[in-house]
Amino acid sequence: MSSRAKAAREARRTAMFHKFRLTELNLVPLVDTFVSIVFFALTTQTLGELAPLVNGVTLPQSSVGRPATHEITLGIASKPAEVTLGGTRVMTVQQAAQAVSNVPNEPLIIPELYNQLRVTADSIRKANDVPADQSVATTLAVQGDKGMRYDLLARVLQTARRAGFKNVSLQVMKTGNDQAAAPQQAS
């Protein structure tokens, strides 16, 4: 056989099988497929009862802290509709909601509540020899009625921060079949 016939046969074979020849292996579609499978497997798996999450919301973690007796309690009740600090009435909820801030560039401050919280924070600073420009370490436990408006809660939290409280906890009622309801904090 001649080399010319052999070369022609090789040329036909190369032309015929050229479409099956791999020059490179593209792994991107394969990796995308595996990532999609893992994603759908993890998102459809349920571990106990899960509430649907709203897009864009990162939920905080909570833990049970110290009992409310070791903290200063700020109560916002609906019946009677009043704001109390350590059991003493400060103002009504309506007055707190309608109060106009007297601090420039901080429209959320509730002046009357700020004054009471500032006096409390100053007395804690004095008792613990803490400089006047530092926040106090004592926790302020906010007990808000479940029907309380979020805008009022935001104003109360901003007022507490401005008055000098760096540790604020929101208290909830602990529920369960094995225990009676007791106030707990969510940190």
Do residue 38 and residue 79 come from a single domain? no
Do residue 120 and residue 74 come from a single domain? yes
Neighbours of 129 (CB within 10 A): 6
The stretches of 27-170 forming alpha helices (DSSP H) are 28-44, 93-98, 111-127, 150-163
Do residue 103 and residue 22 come from a single domain? no
Per-residue pLDDT at 62: 56
Do residue 131 and residue 175 come from a single domain? yes
Neighbours of 81 (CB within 10 A): 14
Cis before 80? omega within 30: yes
Which structure tokens are listed for 91? 């103002």
Per-residue pLDDT at 137: 86
Do residue 38 and residue 111 come from a single domain? no
50 falls within a domain: no
Do residue 88 and residue 122 come from a single domain? yes
Do residue 94 and residue 174 come from a single domain? yes
Give the pLDDT of the chain (187 residues) as one tens digit per residue.
Answer: 688 899 999 888 888 777 776 667 778 888 899 999 888 887 776 554 444 554 554 555 555 554 444 678 888 887 888 888 888 889 988 888 889 988 888 888 999 999 999 999 998 888 888 888 888 888 888 888 777 888 888 999 999 999 999 888 887 665 554 444 455 555 5
**Could you list the residue range(s) of the whole structural domain that residue 40 is in?**
3-44
3-class SS of residue 106: coil
Do residue 145 and residue 108 come from a single domain? yes
How many domains does the chain divide into?
A: 2
Quote the CA–CA distance of 142 and 123 in Å, as a whole number.
19
